[in-house]
A and B are shown apart, each in its own frame.
Chain A
């Protein structure tokens, strides 16, 4: 039997589903004799739970992953999002035992097999999370010719949502979805299946099930909609709903509300310690918030002390998340770290890993306390209330700068424009300022400049990156892409330069702490510390390479071509404004 030739879904409201199926059968009966499947086919009941990472990495890569159980055997089934019912590539199937569909699964913990081979690189270091579980029963009807031979089959699948792991439906949801119908061809009989599909296409109560996509995707999308969510509704991009003509204060409040949403949506994943990226994304949202307050905060029209307090609170939030993230970075890099050892044995670093794990457990408890503290709850609630008032267009002093705005004005940060300033004008202004700052400070760096000057440039480059990202919806896509590509390369270089330095310092401090803790024997500790020394040596080599690459990267971004690309970007955005 070939796969589904044509898929349909009952379009009527629930009370009429059976009537719709009856009328389709009646229409088919005019051309075919109809009989229940003669041989017992292994179809019947199955349960599928769709899986993806929190940021939909598989879906965005065009992949759908299901954990399917039928007659007790379980398997992971990977299909392609874009595949249409006819001619879709073969799904990748991997039998698994003991899979717990309702639990997250880290990429490292996936059982070996062809599906894992295909997805591990896509999802790492994130965990697979269950999205929604649908149970379905499928009945098979044979369409017979005049000899009583089966020449096509009609499959009727009745799906029921049995658990919504995300969205608004509870984990015990039980919601019927419209029945799905599909016609499958019997080998050597293409005509009858096509005829049956034509008959079904004319039936008024049903409609094509997955126009332009796979039936699996159509079912997933529908199930997600029913439980109050949709696919790919989270990414760590800013993506604020702003327009060029929007009042600047409202646009900034909207951007900050989007960032606050990103902080809040990641808190649960952090507290459950599902994977490391919840904390990473939360930290990025906090950093962006702090940068936005610094670069754009004054247009909110808040009193200086109010804004300063929020800035201080977000600094606190950033600081309490740092120790765990630093340890996460070491642990995520651990495999690479051990792989590059030359003199030491990989196992020499085991005590170091144990130490990192213990440390992380301790730091994690402190982080969890902070995220459950009244201070954090108060911060997010107050910040949301403040921003919502402004975003709703009822600012107390719309567009008016805080008292200190003029005082803070410097050549890099001109005083705000008039109160009628638009988001477009603000974007052009602030992005231009941030760019000039990077260009000037970077241009002053020579071979002899101290490391701090590069670290400072990294901060300025980050601010520029955020300024660009905040206003991304207002920019010309092509011009934006051109500027961002060069900026990313510069940032990677500056990041490598500073991160390797920080890691070297941290490993030194951790070595001292390990010696102080005396958790392992002296012989073992000596071997471990020697291995850690090798790791720092490798980091130092990387740092030198990053320093050597700096000049080229900087010239690529802020040289005459880079200046021109930025000018084009700002001109187009400003022109639109």
Chain B
């Protein structure tokens, strides 16, 4: 079982659309896949038309009163399941902040371990923040997929993240950033994406353009590859998924 997390400290950079599309493609590739919507806003759950509700809330899951297994919902797509968001996830930091400090950031890893029997791929869609939740996610993941908007500032964010992860003892996840919401008409976008993609091995060659079709996902409530399989957006997600898989292999 491989664990992929879409993460960025900033909001609105395309974390959820990335998680939804890549999880769909993983399942379409034949991997038994589950996506955990950790964002209390529940955008990923909304896209899969699943109600953002978990019996007993985040508390029951984190404390182990309910197994993750009970919370899993089948999506409309073969081999793709979802663990929905729940509004109580907004307090997840408090729930994780119990017990010995060394173990606090490894709780999600522990919860996810039993899923290995049933799944080949787990996607974690993270809320935007630096918190105990995100620290847990970073510890659990094999690959952290970081959507970047092509600005100078976002490059600094990537460096901070890379440094942070480098400080982990034991298991260190692979970090793969890619440029998201790229507008090729903007000179700055072109310069930054071209320079960094060439220079940094942790930046993917694939870029995901800023197109209205991706925004339409929340209207269609399904992955781009389902309602516009021939589109440039669908193609770029396929290319990105190919890069992600290749790095792990």
Contacts and interface: CB of A to CB of B under 8 A. Distances in A.
A148 B226 CA distance: 15
A39 B229 CA distance: 12
A186 B49 contact: no
A281 B77 CA distance: 53
B74 interface: yes
B72 A188 contact: yes
B51 A147 contact: yes
A41 interface: yes
A38 B72 CA distance: 20
Contacts of B50: 149
Given A38-B222, A38-B226, A148 B49 contact: yes
A147 B74 CA distance: 14
A142 interface: yes
B142 interface: no
Nearest to B27: A39
Contacts of A188: 71-74, 81
B191 interface: no
B217 to A, nearest CB: 14
Contacts of B226: 38-39
Interface in B208-229: 221-222, 226
B78 A187 contact: no
Contacts of A148: 49, 221
Query: Which of B49, B72, B226 is the most central at the interface, judged by chain A CB atoms within 10 Å of its CB?
Result: B49
A316 interface: no
A196 to B, nearest CB: 15
Interface in B71-106: 71-78, 81
Contacts of A186: 73-74
Query: Which of B48, B75, B76, B81 is the most central at the interface, judged by chain A CB atoms within 10 Å of its CB?
Result: B76
B72 A39 contact: no
Contacts of B48: 149
Interface string A134-174: 00000000100001111000000000000000000000000
Nearest to A146: B49
Nearest to B46: A147
Contacts of A189: 73-74
B74 A142 contact: no
Interface residues on B, range: 10 to 19
A147 B47 CA distance: 11
Nearest to B81: A187
Main secondary structure of the interface of A (DSSP, over half): loop
Nearest to A40: B78
A517 interface: no
A300 to B, nearest CB: 67
Given A147-B51, A187-B81, A38 B73 contact: no
A1 interface: yes
B73 A142 contact: no
Nearest to B28: A39
Contacts of A150: 74-76
Nearest to A142: B76
B76 A149 contact: yes
A188 B74 CA distance: 6
Nearest to A148: B49
B76 A187 contact: no
B25 to A, nearest CB: 12
Given A147-B51, A148-B221, A149-B49, A39 B74 contact: no
A187 B71 CA distance: 10
Contact of B72 (A41, A142, A149, A187): A187
Contacts of B74: 1, 150, 186-189
Nearest to A147: B49
A383 to B, nearest CB: 61
Nearest to A38: B76
A147 B50 CA distance: 8
Nearest to B34: A187
Interface in A34-74: 38-39, 41-42
A41 B78 contact: yes
A394 B240 CA distance: 87
A187 B83 CA distance: 11
A39 B76 contact: yes
A206 B72 CA distance: 33
A142 B78 CA distance: 13
Contacts of B51: 147
B79 to A, nearest CB: 9
B218 to A, nearest CB: 13
B248 to A, nearest CB: 25
A186 B77 CA distance: 10
A42 B30 CA distance: 12
Interface in A181-211: 186-189
Given A38-B226, A39-B226, A1 B76 contact: no
A41 B80 CA distance: 13
Contacts of B81: 187-188
A67 to B, nearest CB: 24
Contacts of A39: 76-78, 226
Nearest to A185: B74
A326 B161 CA distance: 81
A189 B73 CA distance: 7
B103 to A, nearest CB: 29
Contacts of B78: 1, 39, 41-42
Interface in B17-56: 48-51
Query: Which of B49, B51, B74, B77 is the most central at the interface, judged by chain A CB atoms within 10 Å of its CB?
Result: B74
Contacts of B76: 38-39, 142, 149-150
Contacts of B49: 147-149
B222 A187 contact: no
Contacts of B222: 38
A38 B142 CA distance: 31
Interface in A108-155: 142, 147-150
Nearest to A149: B49
Query: Which of A42, A147, A149, A188 is the most central at the interface, judged by chain B CB atoms within 10 Å of its CB?
Result: A188
Contacts of A147: 49, 51, 221
A189 B50 CA distance: 10
A147 B76 CA distance: 12
Contacts of A38: 76-77, 222, 226
Contacts of B71: 188
Nearest to B77: A39
A144 to B, nearest CB: 9
A58 B78 CA distance: 33
A155 to B, nearest CB: 14
Nearest to A152: B74
B116 to A, nearest CB: 17
5 contacts: A1-B78, A147-B49, A147-B51, A150-B76, A188-B81
Interface of A: 1, 38-39, 41-42, 142, 147-150, 186-189
Given A39-B77, A148-B221, 11 more contacts: A38-B76, A38-B77, A38-B226, A39-B76, A147-B51, A149-B49, A149-B76, A186-B74, A187-B72, A188-B72, A189-B73
Instruction: In the A-B complex, list the 3 residue pairs whose CB atoms are closest, starting with the nearest.
Output: A188-B73, A187-B74, A149-B49
